[in-house]
Amino acid sequence: MLTPYRPEPYVNFAEPEPRQKMLAALAEVRGQLGRTYPLRIGPERIETSQRIASYMPARSDTVVGSVGKASREQAEQAIRVAAAAFQTWRKVDHETRARVLLKAAAIMRRRIYELAAWMCFEVSKSWIEAYADVCEAIDFLDFYAREMLRLGGPQPVTPYPGEENELRYIPLGVGVVIPPWNFPLAICTGMTGAAIVTGNTVVLKPASTSPVIAAKMAEVFEQAGLPPGVLNYCPGSGAEVGDYLVDHPQTRFVSFTGSMEVGLRIFERCGKIAPGQIWLKRTILEMGGKDCILVDETADREAAAEGIVASAFGFQGQKCSACSRAILHEAVYDDVLARVVERTKRLTIGDTTGEENCFMGAVIDAHAFQSINGYIDIGRKEGRLVLGGAVKGGVAEVGGACVPTGGHFIPPTIIEGVDRNARIAQEEIFGPVLAVIRARSFEDGLDIANGTKFGLTGALYSNDRFRLERARHDFHCGNLYLNRKCTGALVDVQPFGGFNMSGTDSKAGGRDYLLLFMQGKSITERL
């Protein structure tokens, strides 16, 4: 009998044992850098003539690993293999499929420090961010396995005289899974695990900036007993392979997490019927955000400042849930801003694969580095730069923080006095840049909070009970937090997904999520 689901606990890296285990894992992974990972299509391991090199963000000349780069021909092979495997996998008992996920969770639990270390190298996560990423991957596996046990058999229906009636959930078919780089194990595992446990087969096209971690996940599923062809690891370019997989007539659904622009493109392409396609493709889209924390004049100001800094600059602001707007009531604006600046000055930034447990690492790649700095330049014209900014001689322009060289490091940057309609208040930056906006009243602040095309996460700090209740109804976002930070959703504690241009509100880690990968079949027999 399974124990009830509970989220995987975190460790404290200030304690000697977790610290030593993490240092040992970093040393172990460092010795494996530069290896090559082939495509995985059915039972085959395919070496390709072209490869995708994954570089360390913190040391941009260091290769973490190289993965095979699929061609369209290999993408076609992956679809056909997945379609053939589906005919068998869909008939495997749901309890057996659930056990594969439970076994994968156990393997990840045993390898938790090693998998976290890979993320320190490949995406420059801090130790605790990387560890939490593995914990979330384990949570997805454990929770979805238990959910499949609940949903796998006949579902309750109203009895009717003279008939036997039942409702079953059956899988959709071949799915294309396109995960993001910023939660390269957790989200990749959650999307893939949900598709597999519900009886579908998967062609996985990982993000080109974090393909090695995705290869490690594929290894875990293989070790857990997943049959060949159920999961096909198929890295490749978006233009050559991604579009081909999305458009393919045998693709039944596309599960995507990433930017609004790419998500909308997938949504549009899936709306077109390809020759030979006999179904409407389902899209499960988790896209961007322009999230905020609203602080009114009754709030605990220190708690609000702590929540803003953690939400804005954790993992370099590279979360769709990150606080990129701080909306402060004019009565507390100066005080909360000063507290946020002072807290931010104490943050450490550096290579997270070293012995120092830095709070911030590097942003993911050169493209992100240029884009974020471009937004900082825009922000200088839209408000007053009070911390961070350009780096000159290894020192941040404002605040004097030392910034490492040799990688894509950007200091935490705060721009205040920003208009609600400014570009840095409306466009997703996906980096350590915080726009601070003055609100005339709580009503004005709520209007500013809702005044974007997105609706993913938000938070309100207030000690006014009626304002907290008002926010429950009128703060329009998929994940609302009251008197806490707006990042860090836990599986089945805070099911995650947003409104408007933040996606299809798929609520990953929630009790409805697996239904997105299945379809209902009603069966009646006259007695």
Give tens-digit pLDDT for 191-241. 999 999 999 999 999 999 999 999 999 999 999 999 999 999 999 999 899
Whether the per-residue pLDDT at 349 is higher than 80: the answer is yes
Of 354, 70, 88, which is closest to residue 214 (Cα–Cα)?
70
pTM score over 0.85: yes
Residue 164's pLDDT band, with cuts at 50, 70 and 90, is very high
Q: Which residues contact 32 (CB under 8 A, 6 or more apart)?
A: 65
Cα–Cα dist 187/137, whole Å:
7
Tell me which residue of 181, 25, 205, 193 sits closest to 105, measured CA to CA. Answer: 193
Q: Which positions ≥6 away from 378 have C-beta within 8 Å? A: 423, 424
Assign 3-state DSSP to the chain and report helix, strand, coil percentages, each to 5: 40, 20, 40
Question: Which residues are paired to 385 by β-bridges?
Answer: 415
pLDDT tens per residue, range 354-395: 998 899 999 999 999 999 999 999 999 999 999 999 887 788
Rounded Cα gap, residues 214 and 233, in angstroms: 8
Cα→Cα distances 240→73, 207, 353, 398, Å: 10, 14, 34, 43
Q: Assess whether pLDDT exceeds 90 at residue 287.
A: yes
pLDDT of residue 61: 96
For the beta carbon of residue 171, count every other beta carbon within 10 angstroms: 24
Q: How far are the Cα atoms of 140, 196, 510 from residue 513, in angstroms, in the given order?
A: 11, 13, 5
The confidence band for 396, taking pLDDT boundaries of 50, 70 and 90, is confident
Known catalytic residues are: 286, 320
What secondary structure letter does DSSP report for 75?
H
Domain borders along the chain are 37-287+506-526, 291-490
Reading phi first (left if > 0) and then psi (alpha if -120 to 50, else beta), residue 225 is in: left
What whole-number distance in Å separates Cα of residue 411 and Cα of residue 431? 10
Please give the pLDDT value at position 395.
84
CB-based contact 86:171 (threshold 8 Å): yes
Helix (H, G, I), strand (E, B) or coil at 456: coil
Estimate to the nearest angstrom the gap between the alpha carbon of 320 and the chain centroid.
7
Which CATH class, in words, describes the domain spanning 37-287+506-526?
Answer: alpha beta
Q: Residue 400 above 80 pLDDT?
A: no
Between 385 and 396, the more confident residue is 385
pLDDT at 244 over 90: yes
Lowest mean pLDDT among 149-153, 388-392, 397-401: 397-401
Query: How high is the pLDDT of residue 356?
Result: 87
The pair of structure tokens assigned to 140 is 């997805």
Res 397: pLDDT = 84
Instruction: Kindly report the number of other CB atoms within 10 A of residue 335's CB atom.
Output: 15
Q: What is the pLDDT of residue 31?
A: 98
Place of tokens 């990387």: 130
Q: How much is the average pLDDT of 145-154?
A: 97
- Domain 291-490's class? alpha beta
CA distances in angstroms from 505 to 178, 253, 277, 509, 513, listed in the order given: 17, 16, 26, 12, 10
Statement: residue 403 has pLDDT above 80: yes
Residue with tokens 């976002």: 477
pLDDT, residue 515, reads: 98
Q: Is the pLDDT of residue 130 over 90?
A: yes
Per-residue pLDDT, 161? 97
* Beta-strand pair 384-392/39-41: unpaired
Average pLDDT, the chain: 97
**294 and 461 in contact (C-beta within 8 Å)?**
yes
Over residues 58-116, the pLDDT tens digits come to 999 999 999 999 999 999 999 999 999 999 999 999 999 999 999 999 999 999 999 99
pLDDT digits (tens, 9 = 90+) for 461-518: 999 999 999 999 999 999 999 999 999 999 999 999 999 999 999 999 999 999 999 9
- Residue 401: pLDDT over 80: no
pLDDT score recorded for residue 184? 98
Which residues face 460 on adjacent strands? 294, 482
Q: What is the pLDDT of residue 402?
A: 83
pLDDT value for 209 = 97
The pLDDT of residue 333 is above 80: yes
pLDDT mean over 319-346: 98
